[in-house]
Every structure is written in C-alpha cells, then in structure tokens.
Structure 1
Amino acid sequence: MVDGRAAGRVSVRTNDVDQACDIVGEQFYPNRLDLLDPAQRLDAAFSVVRCGGVTVGDVRFGGDVRMRVGELGAYHVDLPLSGRLTWRQGRSRERLADTGRAGIFAPVGDTVLDRWEADCRLIAVKISRPVLEAELHRMTGKPLRGPLRLAAEMDVTGGPGRSWAWLARMLADEAGNDGSLADHPLVGPRLREGLVRGLLVAAGDRHRDGLTGPGPATAAPKSIRRAMAAVQDEPDHPYTVGRLAEIAGVSVRALQQGFRTHAATTPMGYVRDVRLGRAHRDLCAAAPGTVGVSEVAHRWGFVHLGRFAEQYRARYGVNPSATLRAG
C-alpha cells in the first residue's frame, strides 16, 4: 500500500544549470546536467510531489540538455507532454520518448538522456523498487522470482497506457494544489496505488497473465482460502502449521500441498510473506524519527532482527533501514 501521509511538495523555477542539477538530484537522482547549446538560456521549471515511495513531477528545462544519471535504483517513467527526449540505458539502443510514447527506465543500468529538447515538457514518475515489487506480490499473491522487467516503452495514445498517462498527468497537476483530493488520506493513497498498479498492468508484459487472470486465492480450494484469510486478518498471531491446518479443516499434509499448488510457497512461508508485507508498509509510512526498525519487526512477529533484515533484503532488495529513511 502506498503511504498516505501528506506529500512533500517542491515548486521551483531557475535559469541556473547548477541549481537545476541540484533540484533533480534532490527530488529524483544525482546527475550531471549539461546545456548542449551555450547560446541558449536555461528556463527550467519543476513542480514535484513526493509521497511514500512515489514521486511525480512536471519538469522542463527550456533548453537542449544532456543528463547523465548512472543507475537509478528505482523504476521511472518519462511522459512527454510536448517535444521529444532521446535516451538509453545500459547496453540498449537509443530510444525516443515523445507525446505518443513514454520511456520506462529500470532500476539498474547506467542511464543517459542524450537530448532533452528545449520544448520538451514532461511528467516524470519515480516509483521506488520496494513499492513496485511489493505491489506486484500483492496483486499476484506469488513471490517475485527474478527481476521485475517492464517494457522499455509504453504507447500512451490508447489502451491502458493512455489511462495510465491520464492518471500521471492528473497527479502532477495536483502537485501545486493545496487541499486537493490527492492529499486526502482516504483518496490520495488510492490514487497513488492506482498509479503503481496501473504501471504493472500497462507495462508489465511478462507478468500480465498473472495480473489480469484470477489470483491464487480465487483458484485455491475453500480450505486453503480460509487459512490465507486468517493470516491476512491476523498476521501477528503465533501460527503453527498445525493451527493453520485446524483453521483450514484439513490435514497438515493436505495444507502443505495446497499452499505449494496455489500459493507457490509453504504455509509458514505465506505467513512470513504477509508479515514482511505489513512491515514494509509500516516502514514506508513512518515519519522520520517516529519509529525504529526493531519496533516494526517485533510488531509483526519477527523476534530475530538479523533474520528479519535478511528476509526483508531478499524480498525488497534493500535493508529495512533504507526503506525507513526513504519513506
């Protein structure tokens, strides 16, 4: 679940290349920014909102620039509203993002924006790796096996890409609107969650069958669904395999087979995954200095902090303390 705390907002306009570079570094990624034509005068504008692992910004430079970023460490989409952007990542060929196609960047691979044209104004969407990968796990009910790969480009002229682009533009428009529904604790988190889930549906080609088909809990027998529901309702309960078998009304052996078949894990592995998800949610949502990793871990039944950190890192790719700092 994407954090529902009040969003952090930044709105800046500058003619200074170094200041523009610093703003991009503070709001998105450390970078090297170069004005390609010394005769041009930079006219950069940024309107950015950050909340719970999701950053949405309306960005332009007003001059032809090149930006070298290195590895992003997050999933990122550039959605031009005007003009064009040529870019490449890792060893991939040079790609073009324009008003009909968004560019989608992976967390790994050196990233270069070879030419951000002077008239290119775009919506930049940064989604932290833990947030997007945890959402995929929640949507499919299955642990992520191997890296999450999104399509490198997304058609935004029709279909789910167009709908996703509309939502990204709407959230960017609200970045400067105090008191908007995007800030409401009952609405804002759902909008940002829709942005994250929508990207998986629109660009997650490799996972589309799992996202659009029935989930494992739907396909599972009622007995297994009862056990899953109990864990979802009270993940901090001290479950044992025997107790889950009692809840399901089946033998321990049948329970284990059912979880292997319908959840691709063991009963206690399912308990651990649900607890990790709740811990991740709380770490993302915590305001700086208000809670510690150990408190969150104990809240969700993890008594061995070293093992918790190891399991968390294996699932989310970062230490729990890093999630807490990024929240």
Structure 2
Amino acid sequence: MDTLFFDSDDLDLTEDFLSRAYARMQIGSNDPQDSRARITRSAMPSVTVDELDLNFEMSYSVTPLGRICLCLVHDGTIEDHAFDGVRDAFGPGDMVSIAPPDLPYSGRICNARYNITMLETDLLAQVAAGAPGRRPEPVRLTGHRPHSPAAARHLRHSIGYLRDHVLSDPDIADQPLIASTAAQHLAAGVLAAFPNTALTDPTAADRNDAHPTTLRHALAYIEDHADEPITVADIAAAAHVTVRALQYAFRRHLDTTPLAHLRRVRLSHAHADLLAATPLDGTRVTDIAARWGFFHPSRFAALYREAYGHPPHRTLAG
C-alpha cells in the first residue's frame, strides 16, 4: 500500500502535484497568495482514495483521466463542473462520477473538502458480463449521478470503509486477497450505484450454458485458486461461459453466487488455519482472516459463527 501527503500554499506546486496525481491540468485562483491545498492519498493496486482540502476558490481544466473517478463532497461546493455538454454543481453529501475516463472536464472548487476515489476501468469488467474465452468487454457508466439515494449511500459507506478500515492499516491492505476482494466490492458498488452498459440478465445462450458441467468447472477452479486474487471474470473464463451464465448456474444449482461460494471456501481454509495455529505463537484471528481475504473483522466473525457455531477466537484457543 502507498501513502502520499501534500500540503502547500504555492499554486504552481499544487498544479504540478495535481497533474502528476491525476492528469495534466491547469488551475487558477483569483487570490494565489491565499491558496492552501492539503491532500492525502492512500493507494493499493487499481484503486486510490484521496482526501482533499482546498480552502480557496480554484478553477480547473483537466485532460482525460483514463480511470473511473468518483467525487464525494464533504464541505463547500464544486461549481460549473462541465464535460461533453453536461454542466452541474455539487454540494455536501453529493456523490458523483467526475467524467467519463476518455473526456476532459473543467469547473471551480469553492472552499471545498472532498474525497476523490479512482479505480481502473478494467475493474468494472471483472465484476460484469463478458464473452466466453475473450477478455471482458469494457463497461461504461452512462450517467454521472447515482440512480437512487440508497445506492449513493451504500457506495459512500463502501468508500468510507475502504479508506478507514483497509487502507488505514498497511498490514491489511498489503494482503493480496484483501486488495483483490476490496477492489471488486468497490467496483460492484459503482455498478450498483450508477447507470451503466453492463448486461446483467442472462440471455437464452447464458441459460443454456448454465448446466452442471459449467458448475463443476467453476467449483474446481475456485477450489484450486482460492488462495489467489481471482475475480468472477476469471472463474467464468475457466468455465468457458459468460459471467451472466456463471452467476445463473450458481443461482440455479446452488442458490448462491460465485463470490459467496468463493468466500465459503476461503472461510473453510481460515478455519483449518485456526485449528492448526495457537495463540502462543503470536497468531491472531485478524491475521488469518486477512490472509484469506476477510477485511471486515466483525463480518468475518459473524460468518465464522454461522458456519461453525462459535466465534473464531475459540477455535484459535483450542
């Protein structure tokens, strides 16, 4: 995990930093002598989460980012934000997608404190539909505001948890399964919140592909690769079907989802590790949970209790 801090009242230095951290941009201020910018970044592969505090009015003109960029405003406003014929303004509590990855944008920051979360566009394809045997097709967001307040709240919560409970602890964030699982959860949250081009309902061909052989291939792949940062798209490719067909097969035959089954398999591995460990050697429940991709301790404890009838620390204690 990488952490980055920036604190300056020099507008030229701020422009240089922002251009390197996001994309080439030009910024301006009516009062460059009073232009304090504070920025904190936490990053893991494919995802960055930044907190920005700009206590002045700053105009911006930015070249395409090449990534999905989400903005959550805490205080202040963002005015005259524009891209490709869209013009909008954002205030406290607003969650938006800044602009499509391939388009420039501009606007004004007005004494604002806000969060910027960026993720690679490929992450959306990893949790959406793809063609069998081929790289998943790109998925595009077709609106810059969430389609419902509830979806926006859920995404805000997901970003907050990622920032405060995953990226805040390097020992957790540096676990490969944690990074992969957290990134997929964020991508799924983005697709659930914003209108997009992903096709989620199974087609007739998908339904035909959702037979027991598909399920056997998928289950075998999960068993063999549970200790690796695999995605739903990886599992679908191993079974030679689309993600939609894979999800339909799991619903039809097991009444679950591929990720839920993967979580169950990883939980069983965590159980085995807890049985083999002892508190005397310094092993902690959180260490084993993180090793198997569980970044939410209370959620891990609840899943474990549901599966094994007692909390994980009791297994560790023997």
Report TM bin, short chain: 0.5 to 0.7
Q: Quick check: 1:82 aligned with 2:72?
A: no
Of 73, 92, 98, the residue aligned with 1:99 is: 92
Distance 1:81 1:208 in 2: 33
Deviation at 1:85, TM superposition (A): 1.0
**Counterpart residue number, 1:306:** none
Deviation digits for residues 225-283 of structure 1 (CA, Å, limit 9, x no counterpart)? 33455566679xxxxxxxxxxxx9xxxxxx9xx98x947xxxxxxxxxxxxxxxxxxxx
Deviation at 1:21, TM superposition (A): 1.4
Change (3 A) 1:191 1:176: closer
Q: Quick check: 1:29 aligned with 2:23?
A: yes
Of 17, 21, 36, the residue aligned with 1:43 is: 36
Distance 1:74 1:233 in 2: 32
**Counterpart residue number, 1:300:** none
Q: Quick check: 1:199 aligned with 2:199?
A: no
Deviation digits for residues 18-54 of structure 1 (CA, Å, limit 9, x no counterpart)? 111122222222211111x227601110010121111
Of 5, 8, 33, the residue aligned with 2:2 is: 8
Q: Quick check: 1:111 aligned with 2:90?
A: no
Q: Quick check: 1:225 aligned with 2:215?
A: yes
Distance 1:168 1:90 in 2: 24
TM-score by length of 1: 0.58
**Counterpart residue number, 1:64:** 57
Letter in 2 for 1:160: A
What SS is found at the alignment partner of 1:71? coil
Q: Note if contact 2:121-2:139 (Cα within 8 Å) is conserved in structure 1.
A: no
**Counterpart residue number, 1:136:** 128
Equivalent pairs: percent with the same residue? 15
Q: Note if contact 1:61-1:121 (Cα within 8 Å) is conserved in structure 2.
A: yes
What SS is found at the alignment partner of 2:55? coil
Deviation digits for residues 161-202 of structure 1 (CA, Å, limit 9, x no counterpart)? 112112223433469845464455554543333222211111
TM-score by length of 2: 0.60
Task: For 1:1-327, list aligned pairs within 5 A.
Answer: 7-35=1-29, 37-38=30-31, 41-104=34-97, 105-112=99-106, 114-118=107-111, 120-137=112-129, 148-154=140-146, 158-173=149-164, 177-179=168-170, 181-185=172-176, 187-207=178-198, 209-210=200-201, 220-229=210-219, 262=245
Distance 1:185 1:232 in 2: 16
Letter in 1 for 2:122: P
* Consecutive unaligned residues in structure 2, runs of 5 or more: 226-238, 247-318
Deviation digits for residues 264-314 of structure 1 (CA, Å, limit 9, x no counterpart)? xxxxxxxxxxxxxxxxxxxxxxxxxxxxxxxxxxxxxxxxxxxxxxxxxxx
Distance 1:165 1:132 in 2: 17
Letter in 2 for 1:171: L
Change (3 A) 1:222 1:184: closer
Q: Note if contact 1:80-1:121 (Cα within 8 Å) is conserved in structure 2.
A: yes
Change (3 A) 1:179 1:232: closer
Change (3 A) 1:168 1:62: same
Deviates more, 1:202-211 or 1:129-138: 202-211
Q: Note if contact 2:121-2:138 (Cα within 8 Å) is conserved in structure 1.
A: no
Q: Note if contact 1:150-1:200 (Cα within 8 Å) is conserved in structure 2.
A: no
Deviation at 1:107, TM superposition (A): 0.7
* Consecutive unaligned residues in structure 1, runs of 5 or more: 1-6, 236-247, 249-254, 264-327
What SS is found at the alignment partner of 2:192? helix
Distance 2:32 2:14 in 1: 18
Change (3 A) 1:231 1:103: same
